[in-house]
């Protein structure tokens, strides 16, 4: 994610804060100032937000370290004003594993809440009459700080239990559904419910809390994206790269001029090219390489001066579902297909989309 600040590493996982986090702090300060609070009270509120986000990091670590037990690594944990995101390289597909990974986050907050309850006299607050409790909690103070922290952790557990896929509760629901029905179907149901919840969050947020609006948007599009992804992976699984690749491609020679490539680009629809010499692949001239050359008006220059030599390639018999994951993760959109160092074709995202279109219309 762009615009993030690294704040450290925990168990080898990078922890980052997104720049929009500044808005959250600014909002807290604004609320406190508008209530006429003094500097020490404002500082205490900021400290409270920071401690809560410390709890959020521990929550995300709960997901990440559980996933690690199943051989899934986590690239980073990002803190946004609406909460944390652990970027797992993938979700476990076994329902029991997904269930454990999803439960592990809120479980951390349960543990924190229990520890606070044991160590501090939280029960004294809970024993108060409603009016006295309201009075006691009207503003955050050193006396009620820990109680606020306890309540916030309880809130995190309750909020995450809402079955709004892809939030934790929704993942738990999908995992439970996947134990009895097909995972694609389970995802479809969980995502539909998640989107319905998102619409409710949105309207609720309009009246009560603007942060809920952001969460609603995040949930709505998150549910849509994951649902599509799971359906696509199901269509591709068990199929090989050679079923979807292009074989009718223009192969460039390293010595060819950029001007000649411009003619090829104009006369056809290809945008990326494999560069080969004596039957050996030397590089790839990506569209961005070609544009760089054209921008410098290097039409006389040779392809070899602009091609990328440390390009990503794919094997003829690689699984299409795995390849699809790789394409999405790496954000590269053109791969030469090789077998025993011999060029067999090329594949890009359009091929995969066309292949899925054909497969879904064949409906088998």
Residue ranges binding Zn ion (CB under 5 A):
105, 168
Residue with Cβ nearer Zn ion (168 or 348) = 168
Q: Which residue is nearest to Zn ion (CB)?
A: 105
Could you tell me the CA-to-CA distances from 160 to 100, 249, 347 in Å, in that order?
A: 14, 49, 40
Residue with Cβ nearer Zn ion (171 or 272) = 171
Nearest-approach distance from CB 352 to Zn ion, in angstroms: 30
Integer Cα distance of 146 and 40 in angstroms: 17
| CA angle at 237 for the pair 335 and 219, rounded to the nearest 5° | 90
Beta bridge partners of 285: 273
Nearest-approach distance from CB 84 to Zn ion, in angstroms: 7
Nearest-approach distance from CB 69 to Zn ion, in angstroms: 16
Could you tell me the CA-to-CA distances from 273 to 241, 254, 279 in Å, in that order?
A: 18, 11, 15
- DSSP reduced 3-state for 178: helix
Please name the residue that has the structure tokens 């995972």: 183
Integer Cα distance of 174 and 168 in angstroms: 10
Residue with Cβ nearer Zn ion (17 or 293) = 17
Is the peptide bond between 141 and the residue preceding it cis, with omega within 30 degrees of 0?
no
- Kindly give the residue spans of alpha helices, DSSP state H, lying in the chain: 21-34, 39-69, 95-119, 122-126, 130-136, 145-161, 168-178, 183-207, 210-236, 241-244, 258-267, 287-295, 320-330, 349-362
Q: Which two tokens stand for residue 139?
A: 């503003």
**Gyration radius of the chain's alpha carbons:** 26
Nearest-approach distance from CB 169 to Zn ion, in angstroms: 9
Residue with Cβ nearer Zn ion (105 or 163) = 105
DSSP conformation class of 307: S
Nearest-approach distance from CB 98 to Zn ion, in angstroms: 13
Nearest-approach distance from CB 170 to Zn ion, in angstroms: 10
Nearest-approach distance from CB 159 to Zn ion, in angstroms: 10
């Amino acid at each position: 994610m762009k615009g993030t600040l690294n704040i450290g590493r925990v168990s080898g996982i990078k922890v980052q804060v997104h720049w929009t986090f500044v808005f959250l702090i600014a909002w807290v300060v604004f609320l406190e100032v508008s209530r006429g609070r003094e500097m020490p009270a404002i500082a205490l509120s900021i400290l409270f937000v920071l401690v809560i986000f410390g709890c959020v990091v521990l929550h995300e670590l709960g997901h990440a370290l559980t996933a690690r037990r199943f051989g899934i690594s986590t690239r980073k944990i990002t803190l946004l004003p609406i909460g944390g995101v652990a970027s797992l390289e993938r979700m476990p597909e076994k329902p029991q594993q997904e269930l454990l990974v999803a439960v592990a986050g809120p479980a951390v907050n349960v543990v924190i809440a229990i520890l606070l309850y044991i160590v501090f006299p939280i029960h004294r607050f809970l024993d108060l009459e409603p009016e006295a409790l309201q009075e006691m909690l009207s503003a955050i103070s050193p006396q009620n700080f820990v109680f606020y922290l306890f309540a916030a952790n309880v809130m995190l557990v309750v909020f995450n239990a809402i079955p709004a896929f892809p939030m934790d509760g929704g993942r738990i629901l999908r995992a439970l559904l996947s134990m009895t029905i097909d995972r694609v179907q389970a995802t479809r149901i969980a995502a539909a419910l998640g989107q319905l919840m998102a619409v409710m969050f949105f309207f609720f947020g309009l009246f009560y809390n603007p942060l809920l609006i952001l969460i609603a948007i995040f949930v709505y599009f998150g549910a849509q994206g994951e649902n599509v992804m799971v359906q696509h992976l199901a269509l591709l699984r068990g199929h090989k790269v050679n079923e979807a690749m292009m074989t009718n491609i223009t192969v460039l020679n390293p010595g060819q001029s950029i001007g000649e490539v411009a003619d090829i680009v104009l006369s056809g629809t290809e945008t990326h090219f494999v560069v080969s010499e004596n039957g050996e692949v030397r590089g790839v001239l990506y569209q961005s390489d070609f544009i760089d050359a054209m921008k410098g008006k290097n039409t006389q220059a040779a392809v070899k001066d602009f091609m990328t030599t440390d390009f990503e390639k794919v094997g003829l018999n690689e699984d299409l579902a795995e390849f699809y994951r790789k394409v999405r993760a790496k954000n590269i959109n053109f791969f030469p297909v090789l077998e025993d160092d011999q060029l067999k074709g090329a594949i890009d995202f359009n091929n995969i989309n066309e292949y899925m279109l054909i497969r879904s219309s064949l409906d088998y």
